[in-house]
Amino acid sequence: MRAFDACGKQAFGCKVRQTRFSKKGLVRLNLTKTAAEVCPLCEGTGWKPLPANPGAPRDRRVTRCDCQLRARNQTLLAVARIPKRYEHCELASYTTDFPGAHPSLALAHLSAAKFAQEYDPRDGTGLLIIGKIGTGKTHLAVAITKELVLNKGISCLFYDYRELLKEIQNSYNTTVQTTELDVLRPVFETDVLVLDELGAVKPTEWVWDTVSLILNSRYNDNRTTIITTNFEDQPAAGVNGGGSAIRAVTRAESLGDRIGERMRSRLHEMCRIIKMEGEDFRQKFRSASFR
């Protein structure tokens, strides 16, 4: 027996022949409708039955089907803003098995996996991942994000620090139909915020005020923030006193220099620190491929 939909057309993967008119006359189209996948647990209802209660066999209860949870998590992943360049990043694909790999990379991988596995939204403690370019900081941050979204249904949002500041600045343009609050609201409210490349923008009073607003708001709301940075977790120049003027000029800039000592101190309250050392293995592998 053939099945028909509400319009009288054959359904469930059967071929459907339709006719329409055009300027050139009668045109006959042969279309094939593909059957939609139907979940065997809920049979497409979105609800699956729970085991019967022996004390009340007629009390039939249902719960959300796993297929609905998977669909919701895929939606969360789609709005997490993970850049295409990093969409492939997984905890399983992060490798430290290459010549010259620094031991801190394997430790960072274990710490990231543990964080994702033990994540508790009531805790609010995040991660501050520090390392040079090419050590895999962003890979681990994205991998954690995907684990939390797909396996735990946690809402996450990824932002490159520079891009976020540009979007906020752009909202001040009167020709743009976006306000500063439109940009910042999801940054404030998402369960987990990934802020990549913190300190990458030259510090100004406005930059410091904006960073302070974001970090303090999330701290006060006890929300988790994962941060990556290329800058060493050291105080700003002159904070501890002492040292020659020449050394102060020639020293590499620190995280304290880029975001201010007050916010650096705040990060220590908000995050556990993961340090990643070693060479830029992306550049190393790229060079090796041309030998």
Tokens read off for 243: 């040292």
Instruction: Give the model's pLDDT for residue 215.
Output: 96
Summary mean pLDDT of the chain = 80
**The model scores a pTM over 0.85:** no
Place of tokens 């699956």: 48
Cβ–Cβ contacts within 10 Å for residue 203, how many? 15
Instruction: Give the model's pLDDT for residue 144.
Output: 97
Instruction: Give the model's pLDDT for residue 220.
Output: 97
Do the beta carbons of residue 145 and residue 179 sit within 8 Å? no
Task: Assign a CATH topology to domain 69-288.
Answer: Rossmann fold (3.40.50)
Instruction: Give the model's pLDDT for residue 30.
Output: 44
Please report the DSSP string for 186-243 in residue order: HHHHSSEEEEETTT-SPP-HHHHHHHHHHHHHHHHTT-EEEEEESSBS-PPTTSS--S
Distances (CA, A) of 183 to 99, 172, 179: 43, 11, 7
Given a cut of 90, whether residue 164 has pLDDT beyond it is yes
Please report the DSSP string for 115-134 in residue order: HHHH--TTT--EEEEEE-TT
Instruction: Give the model's pLDDT for residue 6.
Output: 40
Tell me the C-alpha distance between 231 and 226, whole Å: 15
Instruction: Give the model's pLDDT for residue 283.
Output: 62
Sorting pLDDT into bands at 50, 70 and 90, what band is 112?
A: very high
Segment 237-266, tens digit of pLDDT: 877 654 444 445 567 899 999 999 999 999
Tokens read off for 89: 């990043």
- The residue extents of the domains of the chain are 69-288
**Phi/psi at 39 (nearest 5 deg)?**
-65, 130
Sorting pLDDT into bands at 50, 70 and 90, what band is 131?
A: very high
146: Cβ contacts below 8 Å, ≥ 6 apart: 77, 82, 89, 90
Q: Is the dihedral of CA 213, 224, 127, 230 positive or negative?
A: negative
Mean pLDDT within 104-124: 96
Mean pLDDT within 283-291: 46
Given a cut of 70, whether residue 224 has pLDDT beyond it is yes
More confident residue, 12 or 148: 148
